[in-house]
Structure 1
Amino acid sequence: MNNVTDRLIRGSIWLSLSRAIVNGLSALSTFVLAWYLGPADFGLVAIATTLQLILSSVTELSLNQALIRHEAPTEEHFSAVWTLSAARSLVLALLFAAAAYPIADFYQDPRLVNVMFALSLSLFLSGLANPRRIMLQRDLIFWQDFVLNVSQKLAGFIVTVAVAALYQSYWALVLGLLAYQLTNLVVSYTVLPFWPRITFRHARELFSFSVWLTAGQIVGTLNWRIEYLLIGKWMGSVQLGHYTVGNTLAMLPTREATAPLNQTIYPGFSKVRNDPVRLIAAYQRAQALLAAVALPAGIGMAVVADPMMRLAMGEKWVPAIFIVQALSAVFGIQTLGSLVQPLGMAKGQTKLLFIRDAQMLVLRVPIIIAGLVYFGLPGVIYARILSGLISTVVNMLLVKRLIGLPFFQQLAANFRALASVAVMAAGVWGVSHLLSAPADKLALAAHLAILVSAGAVFYIGSSFVLWLAMKKPNGPETEVQRIVVKTLSKAKLIAVPKSA
């Protein structure tokens, strides 16, 4: 178990560095675009990208996950995955382009035609990527994944910002997506050389595992993206722009803080899936670490959203502040049960995951529609808060069913993180009320820096005090201590020959 854990930690370090760079570029890109573009520009592209994502998800084959779980995939397996993906992407690209005119008529915006034509090319490129890339995750090797992630994000960032600065057009968003996909295609074959052959052998074998994941992906995407289409139709592109940017920023800290662990945990669970004791231990350690990172990231974003958005994006984005505050807190809380997805996949319970997704779709969509009809955009946010809390409880109950870990025992494992984040939120709120209202940008930047620093001090300090008060139980603090000791030991071994 220690060997697997060490490899997961090394992988998480590589991915943490990757996500730190990607996270920085994503945030910087959003802030820059918010100055050059208006909410209506974001709303327009959001309609097209939402339709693209739904079409992709409805036909998603989930073959990469099947490769991870396969005992010994061969070159024929990779070629079969590439063949199926390429055929699917070609059909999708043609369908998406053919739907451009009807969709533009439905939303009464002729600009959607060319946007959808361009995104159809992105759909096609996405299916040509190197399938061998997924083996980096399977074998817990992540430095090459670092190169892929950073290079494609950097290319998209450069193109997006350059087009936005030169033309101040929504095309910056579209061309950035194309640059992202093209870079992914080129770099994936450069880092991992592979010459695919057209073959459909092993297709049934791969589908036997992925069929329920595909079904779950369909309902999951409809579940989390349907409101984009409803807001765009009923409330217009400006409101959709506020919602799109607010949702993106709200998701950013939690997603980026947890991505390294999420990306490594499925292969880790798969390696111990036949040992119930080790699997429960691995889940508890991973979930406690995830909560310790995700909760302060999400709640922290909520408590500093107001000064951050006023400083970075300007007054025209003030309507999105409430969206960021509400959703970032919910995203943080939802991580308490989010590892049920890789856990269910590792145990082969993909049908059970699909049933969960279908149940949440039936529950969530009516709540969203009711909120939109009766209360407008704020109603959608309140509906998402409610559905997010329900989803967290459902996921934790599903964990109990999968590995027999009681609900309240799962909560107890995250007690220190929950208590510390409550102290952090209360402390930052108190500090913000003690400070005078900032009068200019410089004062606003200082105000934000003080709040962020205070939040870090409150969270880390209260976590450490609770850990000591509870007599240093195993948990995220233990993992950090072990990593520090191991790193210092290696540093001493390196330093001794030099001093000698």
Structure 2
Amino acid sequence: MSSITGRLIKGSMWLSLSRAIVNGLATLSTFVLAWYLSPADFGLVALATTMLLIVTTVTELSLTQALIRHEAPTESHFSAAWTLNATRGLILCLFFAACAWPASVVYEDPRLFGVMVALGFSVLLGSMTNPRLIMLQRKLIFWQEFVLSVSQKFVGVVVAVAIAMIFHSYWALVVGTLVSQATYLVTSYLVVPFRPRIVFKHMREFFSFSAWLTAGQIVNTLNWRFDHLLIGKVLGNAQLGYYTFGSNLARLPTREATAPLTQTIYPSFATIRDDPGRLAAAYQRVQALVAAIALPAGIGVAVIADPLVRLTLGEKWAPAIFIIQSLASVYALQTLGSLAQPLGMAKGKTRLLFIRDTQMLFVRVPIIFGALMLYGLEGVIYSRVFTGLLGALVNMVLVKHFIGVTVLEQLAANGRALASIAIMAAGVLFASTWLPAANDSVGLAWQLAILVPLGAVLYCGLSFGLWLLMKRPDGPEREILNILGKILSKVRHG
């Protein structure tokens, strides 16, 4: 456990630095683009992106996960993976271009044609990425990931922001995506040299692992993206823009706060998949740590969403506040069971993951569709809150099946974090009612300057206070102190 934990922490440090830079660039570009582009611009690109995600997921081969789990992949395996991916990318590029005109007719927006053609080309670029990169994750080496992520994001942000500021056009989002993809493609061969050959072998090896996983990804993408297509058709691009933008911002704090850990989890679990005791212990330790970080990040943003959006984005984006408040909380709470996915993949239980995704699809589609038809966008948000919490419970039941840890035991491991975040949210909301109303930038900034530190003090103070009262049991508090100690030690001796 110690060697894996040490490598996981070291990898997390690299990823933390990477995500800090990437997150800063992403946040900056999001706010800049929101000032120069309209909600309808975001909705247009989101519509094309949703269709692209559905098409790419339906044909996803899951070769990356298969290579990680393979005991000893050879050069032939990597070339075969590259060949299959490149072939798929070319076919999808042509298919998406062919669908561009019919889609623009169905959604009554001729701009959709050019956007879909351009995004289809981005699939081709992404399909030719160096497959040997996966060996870095397998060995828990992540400094190259730092180079790839930062260079990709930096170049894409610079191009997108420049186009938005000069032309005020939705093409800023499209061209930024293309340039980011091209940058990642080139850099992937610079950090890990590889000369691919055209090889059509090992298909049975790849598909024996990835068949159920691919089917699950298809269902999962339909599960989480069909609402975008419905909103775009029923409510229009402007409402879709609010929905997409708000959902992305709501997901941002939870995703970015936990990415350094979650990105290392699957390869870490895969290395100990045949040791049930170590796997169960590793899951409980990592899951509690992820939730302890995600809960204050997600719910913290939810309780300050109103002044945050009004200050940084302006009144133009005020309709997105309710979306952020609702979904940011759900994304944070879903981390209580979100690691069921890498756990199931590590154990080879991809069929059960597919069954879970299919069941959730049949639950979510009628609920969200009915809520949209009856109550519009607000109904969609409420239905997503309900189905999101239900999905978290389903994942926790699945974890019990995988490693024998009951739902109550999983909740108990997160008990201090849940209690602390509840009191933190109540305290921040109560304090906000006593603050004077703010209608200008200075007043909104003062509100945030008071509420953000208050929330941090409440959460951290309560979490560590409860930990001390319980006589310092094993849990996320101890893990955080150990990680901070290792970081400080490396800084002192670095």
Tell whether the structures are fold-level matches, with TM greater than 0.5. yes
Provide the residue aligned with 2:482 in structure 1. Answer: 482
Closer, same or farther in 2 for the Cα pair 1:485/1:175, shift >3 Å?
A: closer
The aligned residue for residue 76 of structure 2 is 76
How far off its partner does 1:486 sit?
A: 3.9
In 1: Cα distance, 2:439 partner to 2:380 partner: 33
| SS at 1:438 equivalent | coil
Output the CA distance in 2 between the equivalents of 1:403 and 1:46: 38
1:90 is matched with which residue?
A: 90
Distance in 2 separating the partners of 1:444 and 1:93? 46
* SS, match of residue 72 in structure 2: coil
User: Equivalent residue for 1:249?
Assistant: 249
State the alpha-carbon separation in 1 of the partners of residues 481 and 32 from structure 2.
Answer: 38
Equivalent residue number for residue 498 of structure 1: none
- C-alpha distance in structure 1 between counterparts of 2:486 and 2:63, whole Å: 37
Is the aligned partner of 1:126 residue 2:123? no
Cα 1:297/1:366, change in 2 over 3 Å: same
Superposition pairs of residues 211-290 of structure 1, within 5 angstroms:
211-290=211-290
Name the CA distance, whole Å, in 1 between partners of 2:263 and 2:46. 26
Paired with 2:284 and 2:332, the residues of 1 have a C-alpha distance of: 17
Q: Deviations over 1:145-172 (max 9, x none)?
A: 1110111011111111000000000000
Distance in 2 separating the partners of 1:202 and 1:123: 23
Counterpart of 2:190 in structure 1 is 190
Question: Which SS does the other structure have where 1:99 is aligned?
Answer: helix
Shift of 1:203: 1.6
Task: Output the CA distance in 2 between the equivalents of 1:122 and 1:344.
Answer: 30
Task: Please name the residue that 1:25 is paired with.
Answer: 25
Question: C-alpha separation between the residues in 1 aligned to 2:395 and 2:262?
Answer: 15
Aligned residues: 494
CA distance in 2, matches of 1:483, 1:145: 20
Shift, 1:297, TM fit: 0.8
Q: Return structure 1 stretches of 4+ with deviation > 2 angstroms.
A: 480-492
Counterpart in the other structure of 2:473 = 473
Question: How far, CA to CA, are the matches of 2:19 and 2:54 in structure 1?
Answer: 25
1:440-455 equivalences in 2 (<5 Å) = 440-455=440-455
For residues 28 and 18 of structure 1, the distance between their equivalents in structure 2, rounded to whole angstroms, comes to 15
| Distance (whole Å) between structure 2 residues aligned to residue 375 and residue 488 of structure 1 | 52
Give the C-alpha shift of residue 488 in structure 1.
4.9
Q: Distance in 2 between matches of 1:233 and 1:272?
A: 47
CA-to-partner distance for each residue in 1:34-85, whole Å, 9 max, x for gaps? 1101111011111111000110001000000000011111111100000000
Other-structure match for 2:174: 174
Instruction: Using the TM superposition, name which of 406-415 and 426-435 deviates more.
Output: 426-435
Residue equivalent to 1:147: 147
What fraction of aligned residue pairs are identical, expressed as a percent?
65
Contiguous gaps of at least 5 residues in structure 1: 496-500
Pair 158,489 (structure 1): closer, same or farther in 2 beyond 3 Å: closer
Q: CA deviation at 1:490?
A: 5.5
For residues 399 and 69 of structure 2, what CA distance do their matches in structure 1 show?
20
What is the TM-score with the length of structure 1 in the denominator?
0.97
Distance in 2 of aligned mates of 1:128 and 1:306: 42
Name the aligned partner's letter for residue 95 of structure 1: F
Post-superposition shift, 1:482? Answer: 2.2
**Match of residue 297 from structure 1:** 297
Aligned partners of 1:462, 1:179: CA distance in 2, in Å?
Answer: 45
**Cα shift at 1:437:** 1.2
Q: 1:484 to 1:241 in 2, by over 3 A?
A: closer
Which residue in the other structure is 2:333 paired with?
333
Structure 2 unaligned spans of 5+: none
Cα separation, 2, equivalents of 1:325 and 1:491: 37
**CA apart distance, 1:457:** 0.6
Q: CA deviation at 1:439?
A: 3.6
TM-score, normalising length from structure 2?
A: 0.99
2:172 aligned partner, one-letter code: A
Give the counterpart letter for 1:269 in structure 2. Answer: F
Q: Say yes or no: does 1:208 pair with 2:208.
A: yes
